[in-house]
């Protein structure tokens, strides 16, 4: 028997308001054609004032708990991956804990931007396997619309809001179910290529997203293909063994180029970027939840998760569902 972190349930939450490229083009100098051709994005959800990273995260968490057949009181660890917390402090994870009515447990946030969910999954996996908790809620939740410069058409068309969540449970398994490997990376020398130009300790403001798009694109394809190779090698498996890839949904062209580099057929890649745009730390769990709920990802499938974002940070995980 081996103690592993097993996927017990998934959930998702999207803001009520959905905005199409055409609607966006009425207030930003852009077009549906430009956005679709360069990114594959058609829609994004934008949070209303009463919808926050915390409320969206809690809604996704409730769904994941229900799917896992658990109550909030069963949870011993809550990690929220976000770059857009409700407040500078306390951690949004503690606000989610309060909204769920979960009693005393471990709760904290992880900041690794678009790779945040992969970082959070890896930390939760380590903590579950060393006995810190029996059940963990790992949530990626973002309201990126609050940190977009709506005058900067090169960035504001790319992002959306939303949340995704998983319950991971520590289980003694006698097969290869659960998280089989995770890999994380960061190269801080690239921190000026994708960043927010504000913060409590620098400007005292929230700031706006700034990006060197072409450089991000180039690094994303190289780093994602390489980390997928590493994490599969860790498990002794190959691209041919993978049933589903659930990539970070930044850009259709990055996803296609990465899959091609690894020889992964497009029909095994879960795509939501057309519907959700880039929801940063929420994108992987949102896509995972969709593919679990529509029956594509089934028990026994080998699933690979990957993401890259500001820092640069990037990571990947392999799990048997």
- What is the binding site for ligand ACO (CB under 6 A)? 30, 34, 38-39, 114, 153-154, 157-158, 194, 211, 213-214, 216-217, 220, 248, 250-251, 278, 308-309
- What's the CA gap between 87 and 177, in Å, rounded? 37
To the query of whether residue 276 is one of the catalytic residues in this protein, the response is no
- Which neighbouring-strand residues pair with 195? 210
- When CB distances to ligand ACO are compared, the closest residue is 213
- Cβ–Cβ < 8 Å for 302, 320: yes
Q: Give whole-number Cα distances, 96 to 79, 93, 220, in Å.
A: 10, 5, 31
Question: Least distance from C-beta 216 to ligand ACO, angstroms?
Answer: 4
Q: Is the CB of 178 or the CB of 247 nearer to ligand ACO?
A: 247
Which of 114, 135, 208, 223 is catalytic? The answer is 114
Q: What is the distance in angstroms between the CA of the first residue and the CA of the last residue of the chain?
A: 17
To the query of whether residue 251 is one of the catalytic residues in this protein, the response is no
Q: Is the CB of 11 or the CB of 309 nearer to ligand ACO?
A: 309
Q: Is the CB of 19 or the CB of 211 nearer to ligand ACO?
A: 211
Question: Least distance from C-beta 77 to ligand ACO, angstroms?
Answer: 26
Distance from CA of residue 135 to its chain's centroid?
19
Other residues' Cβ atoms within 10 Å of the Cβ of residue 21: 21
Which of 135, 219, 248, 276 is catalytic? The answer is 248
- Cβ–Cβ < 8 Å for 280, 159: yes
- What's the CA gap between 161 and 163, in Å, rounded? 7
Question: Least distance from C-beta 135 to ligand ACO, angstroms?
Answer: 29
CA 277-283-289 angle, 5° bins:
120
Strands (E), 201-258: 209-211, 244-247
Q: Is the CB of 102 or the CB of 118 nearer to ligand ACO?
A: 118
To the query of whether residue 278 is one of the catalytic residues in this protein, the response is yes
Question: Least distance from C-beta 54 to ligand ACO, angstroms?
Answer: 22
Two structure tokens written together for 209: 């997203």
Residue found under tokens 């890259």: 308
Q: Is the CB of 46 or the CB of 77 nearer to ligand ACO?
A: 46
Which residues does the annotation mark as catalytic?
114, 248, 278
């Amino acid at each position: 028997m081996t103690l592993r972190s097993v996927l017990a349930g998934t959930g998702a939450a999207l803001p009520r308001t959905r905005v199409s490229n055409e609607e966006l083009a009425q207030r930003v100098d852009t077009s549906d054609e430009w956005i679709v051709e360069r990114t594959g994005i058609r829609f994004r959800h934008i949070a209303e004032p009463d919808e926050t990273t915390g409320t969206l995260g809690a809604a996704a968490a409730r769904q994941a708990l229900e799917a896992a057949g658990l109550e909030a009181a069963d949870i011993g660890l809550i990690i929220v991956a976000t770059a857009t917390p409700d407040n500078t402090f306390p951690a949004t994870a503690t606000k989610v804990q309060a909204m769920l009515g979960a009693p005393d447990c471990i709760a904290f946030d992880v900041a690794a931007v678009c790779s945040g969910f992969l970082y959070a999954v890896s930390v939760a996996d380590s903590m579950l396997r060393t006995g810190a908790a029996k059940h963990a809620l790992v949530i990626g939740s973002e309201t990126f619309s609050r940190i977009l410069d709506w005058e900067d058409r090169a960035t504001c068309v790319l992002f959306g809001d939303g949340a995704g969540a998983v319950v991971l449970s520590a289980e003694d398994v006698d097969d290869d179910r659960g998280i089989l490997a995770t890999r994380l990376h960061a190269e801080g020398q690239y921190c000026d290529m994708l960043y927010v130009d504000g913060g409590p300790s620098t400007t005292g403001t929230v700031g706006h997203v700034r990006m060197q798009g072409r450089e991000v694109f180039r690094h994303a394809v190289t780093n994602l293909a390489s980390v997928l190779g590493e994490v599969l090698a860790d498990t002794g498996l190959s691209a041919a063994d993978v049933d589903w890839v659930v990539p970070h949904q930044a850009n259709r062209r990055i996803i296609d180029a990465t899959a091609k580099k690894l020889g992964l057929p497009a029909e095994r890649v879960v795509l939501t970027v057309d519907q959700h745009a880039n929801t940063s730390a929420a994108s992987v769990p949102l896509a995972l939840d969709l593919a679990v709920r529509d029956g594509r990802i089934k028990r026994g499938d080998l699933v690979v998760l990957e993401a890259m974002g500001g820092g640069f940070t990037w990571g990947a995980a392999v799990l048997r569902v």
